[in-house]
Amino acid sequence: MKITAPLLVIFLTAIFLFLAATNIQGGWLYVVDALLWSVVFLAFVLPFLQLRRLQLKRHFLNQAVAEFPVSVELTLKNQRRWPLMFLNLEEGPIQNLRTGQTLQPDTDKFFAVSVGYGEELSYPYSFVPPNPGVFSFQSVHTGSFGPLGLLGLYWKQNLPSALVVLPIQAEVSSQNLLEEHFQDIRQARRRSHSAEDISHFRSYQPGDSRRAIHWRNSARYGQLIVAEAREEPFQQALVLFNTEQKQANPAFYALVQEAEKVCSHLLEHKMEIFCQAQAAEPTFWNQLQLSTPPRRLSAIRTWEGLSYWLATLMPDAQESFDRHLSHNPVNSENMLIILFCTELPSFESLRNLAQGKGSSGLAPLLIYCTEPVPSLPEDLASILEIRHVEAQA
C-alpha cells in the first residue's frame, strides 16, 4: 500500500466531519457521508476486486540459450466491467532450479493509465540467463491506484511457468580428456581402412580426408576413389550420468558443467555420442508444466541434438544408479565410456561397465566424481581413470 497526499487530506477531513457531527445535526452531513463512502469504494474496494480478476499470461518468444537475451511477453486482460485505472505490472523473481540462483529482470515497470473491459495489453521485456538449466517463473506483481488515484494496492498473483535454457558449446582444450585416448582413436581409424574392414567404395567428394582415398582403385578407374569403412572402433562414446534424487545441487551442477565441456570436446573429435541416465520423474516435470525429458539419446553428432539433454539434467530420479546399471546393461566393448557421478557406483557395476576393456587394450573407463574415491581393487585400478571435480560452494 502507498499513502498519497490526497488520501491524507480526505482522512483528515473525515476526522473533522466526525467531530462536527457530534455537535451539529443536519441533512448535509448525510450527503458528505455518502461521498466519503463512495471514495472508500472507488479507492479501496474496486481496485482490490479488479486485480483479483485480472487475467495474465506469459509467453516466451525465442529459444532460450545461456548468456543470450530471452524475449518474454506478459499479456493482461481486464475481465471486470469497471475500467482498471493506473495499473502497474512487474515480473517476479526467476529461479534456476539447478543452482538455486535467483535473479530479477532489470527492466522498467509496465504502466497503463486505463484498461477497459475486455481490453488486452502486452508487456514485453527481456533478460539474460547467466547459465543453462531449468528456470522457474512463479509470480507477477500487479498494482492499481484505482479510479481516483488515491491509494496504491499491490497484489502478488501466481503465474507459474518454466523455461529450459540451453547451454552454449564450450571451447575447451585437450585437458578434459587424455590426449593419448584420442591418439588411440586416430590409430584405430587408420587401421579401419584395411581391406577386411572396407564396406564399399565411392567417388571422392570435397571435404573427404586424403587418408580415406583408396589409391589402387583410383588408379584403376582414373579418378579418386574413397573407401568407406564397415565400422570404425573408438568413434562412439557413451556418457552416463547419475540423476538420483539424493545428490546435492552444488555437486550436481559442477558435474553438469564438466559434462558440457567433455561433450563439446567429444564432438570436436567427431565422436558419435550415446547418452544415458535414469528415467526422469514425471511428477516433477508436470509441476513445471513441461514434458518429461528423455534420458536416453543415441548416435548424436551435433551440439543441437545434445544441448536439451544436458539442460534438463536434474537430480529427480527415484531409481538408484546401481539399480539402473544392473537393469540396463551396456555393450561397451567398442565405446569410450565416461561416467559422471557424485559418489562412485559399486565395484560390481564398474566391473560390468568395464568388461573387456583390459583384455582388448581399449581406453580405460573415465569417471568424473565429486566425492573422495576409496581404494580400488587391483582388477579395477588398471582400467579406471578417475578425475575429481570440485563442487561449488
CA atoms of 316 and 245, how far apart (whole Å): 5
Q: In the chain, which residue ranges form alpha helices assigned H by DSSP?
A: 5-21, 28-40, 46-52, 179-191, 215-221, 249-268, 282-287, 303-311, 321-327, 347-353, 357-360, 378-381
- The verdict on 23 and 81 lying in the same domain is yes
**140 located within any domain:** yes
**172 located within any domain:** no
**322 located within any domain:** yes
Q: Which residues sit opposite 274 in a β-bridge?
A: 238
Taking the model in full, what pTM does it have? 0.74
Q: Which of 48, 245, 56 is nearest to 147 (CA)?
A: 48
Residue 224 structural domain: 195-229
pLDDT given for residue 253 in this prediction: 93
- The verdict on 382 and 300 lying in the same domain is yes
Q: Are strands 94-96 and 133-144 parallel, antiparallel or unpaired?
A: antiparallel
Residue pair 146/46 in contact (Cβ under 8 Å)? The answer is: yes
**304 located within any domain:** yes
**174 located within any domain:** no
For the chain, the maximum distance between any two Cα atoms, rounded to a whole number of angstroms, is 123
Name the DSSP letter for residue 53: T
**147 located within any domain:** yes
**173 located within any domain:** no
pLDDT given for residue 193 in this prediction: 46
- The verdict on 140 and 247 lying in the same domain is no
Q: Please return the burial class of 313, using the count of CB atoms within 10 Å of its CB with bins 0-12, 13-18 and 19+.
A: buried
Which domain CATH number covers 55? 2.60.40.10
- The verdict on 242 and 148 lying in the same domain is no
- The verdict on 143 and 267 lying in the same domain is no
- The verdict on 245 and 221 lying in the same domain is no
Which domain CATH number covers 338? 3.40.50
Q: How many domains does the chain have?
A: 3
- The verdict on 201 and 117 lying in the same domain is no
pLDDT given for residue 359 in this prediction: 43
pLDDT 10s digit of each residue in the chain, 393 long?
Answer: 555 546 655 665 676 566 666 655 555 665 566 667 667 766 777 777 777 778 889 999 999 999 999 999 999 888 777 777 778 888 889 999 998 889 888 877 788 877 777 888 889 999 999 999 999 999 988 887 776 666 677 888 889 999 999 999 877 654 545 455 555 555 545 544 455 456 667 787 777 777 777 777 777 778 888 877 655 544 788 999 999 988 888 999 999 999 999 999 888 888 889 999 999 999 999 999 999 999 999 889 999 999 999 999 999 999 999 899 888 877 666 678 899 999 888 888 888 887 755 444 445 688 899 988 778 888 787 778 888 888 876
pLDDT given for residue 361 in this prediction: 44
- The verdict on 218 and 238 lying in the same domain is no
- The verdict on 208 and 243 lying in the same domain is no
**171 located within any domain:** no
- The verdict on 240 and 217 lying in the same domain is no
Q: What angle do CA 240, 298, 203 make, to 5 degrees?
A: 130
The neighbour count for residue 22, using CB atoms within 10 Å, is 7
Alpha-carbon dihedral 10, 16, 18, 19, rounded to 10 degrees: 170
The neighbour count for residue 72, using CB atoms within 10 Å, is 23
- The verdict on 221 and 284 lying in the same domain is no
Residue 57, classed as helix, strand or coil, is strand
- The verdict on 161 and 266 lying in the same domain is no
